[in-house]
Structure 1
Amino acid sequence: MTELGSVAWPPAPIRTERLVLREAEARDRATFIELLASSEVHAYLGGPRARDELEREIPEVPGRWPGGFVVDLDGAMIGQILLRRATEHRRAAAVGKVDLGYLFLPRAWGFGYATEACGAALAWFDGALPGEPMVLATQTANISSMRLAAKLGFTEVERFHAWDAEQWLGLRSPVALSV
């Protein structure tokens, strides 16, 4: 995955009714470790990483790269959104397109935060890179992620087998901007 191209990064924080999408800060480090070490968060992502390994490897200010948003609720990180160009992908339909990824803490599940945050990131994306399609891959067993993909406007391109499970690849066509 590579940068998003000519997009100036980071953008100004994106505010929704309840959330702020912003650049990562040093205060987010513990939450990044919690996300990456969580067996619940990584149930469909190949499993969690060891906390001690993460403590050694995660930089003081993690997650600072073009396309990386921290999802902030009331001043605290509850998740992250990643928009990265898929330069290499297991599926030809995804190569060269921007890929949407997201992770949220289990305590933030079930409140619509992922829908709200991803919707705001997609609206920003549509303005920053008009005419660009986007892909999203998830395990078909991850029912919540499949529902979120549908709510966000992704439609199935194909299903495939990888990482010992059936995967789903969805495409979100570019939003036509009215002139």
Structure 2
Amino acid sequence: MTRMADLQAVAWPPAPIRTERLVLREPETRDRDAFIELLASPEVNSYLGGPRLPGELEREMPVVPEQWPGSFVVELDGAMIGQILLRRATAHHRPAAIGKVDLGYLFLPRAWGFGYAAEACAAALDWLGGVLPGEPVVLTTQTANVGSMRLAARLGFTEVERFHAWDAEQWLGLRSPVTPSA
């Protein structure tokens, strides 16, 4: 199988991905305030190095934020509640992750506890399996982030290793490609 350097070669943006409750789509101008709220939230960023200052985000964020292949807005009832990120892990702390697609996700605290992250991540992984069949995916989270650890297990990630980085113990999981049955 030939590996692409990144997701740039995939036709982007895809048609919106619809699940039972959510829509995954490319970011739009109307999402800017929600992105600022997401990146400035102490709760969202407690395991990611801390929040950024809202004023700094206001000055630096483009009119259409995070608009690049692999960045999905997660929308519920017409409003952004989170973001799914799929990007090639080219510079990772762990050799086991380098070259694989890395799954990341951020959700606003008001969207926590309803299964939206699991639903959105599963849809993004299904999409990825359609455009890059046989692609393994990695996920890194702090072991202290119990919710993220549970989500990784639900999505089929298995532990590859634990390591120390960013002043905390990290967990690296791998989701092997799903092979079609004969």
TM range (shorter): over 0.9
Residue 64 of structure 2: aligned partner:
61
Instruction: Tell me the CA shift for residue 5 of structure 1.
Output: 4.3
* TM-score when normalising by structure 2: 0.96
Given that 2:8 and 2:69 are in contact with CA atoms closer than 8 Å, whether structure 1 keeps it comes out as no
Q: Percent identity?
A: 79
2:148 is paired with a residue whose SS is helix
Q: 1:108 and 1:45 mapped to 2: Cα distance?
A: 18
Correspondence 1:121 to 2:124: yes
Residue 54 of structure 2: aligned partner:
51
Instruction: Tell me the CA shift for residue 3 of structure 1.
Output: 3.3
Correspondence 1:157 to 2:160: yes
Deviations 1:68-87 (A, max 9, x none): 00000000000000000011
1:126 is paired with a residue whose SS is helix
Instruction: Tell me the CA shift for residue 6 of structure 1.
Output: 2.4
Aligned residues: 178
2:139 is paired with a residue whose SS is strand
Structure 1 residues 26 and 5: alpha-carbon distance in aligned structure 2, compared to 1, 3 A threshold = closer
| Unaligned segments of structure 1, at least 5 residues | none
Deviations 1:116-138 (A, max 9, x none): 00000001111110011000000
Instruction: Tell me the CA shift for residue 39 of structure 1.
Output: 0.3
Q: 1:4-153 counterparts in 2 under 5 A? A: 4-153=7-156
Instruction: Tell me the CA shift for residue 94 of structure 1.
Output: 0.2
* TM-score when normalising by structure 1: 0.97
Given that 2:27 and 2:64 are in contact with CA atoms closer than 8 Å, whether structure 1 keeps it comes out as yes
| Unaligned segments of structure 2, at least 5 residues | none
After superposing the two structures, state which structure 1 stretch, 54-63 or 5-14, moved more: 5-14
**RMSD of the TM alignment (CA)?**
0.9
1:36 is paired with a residue whose SS is helix
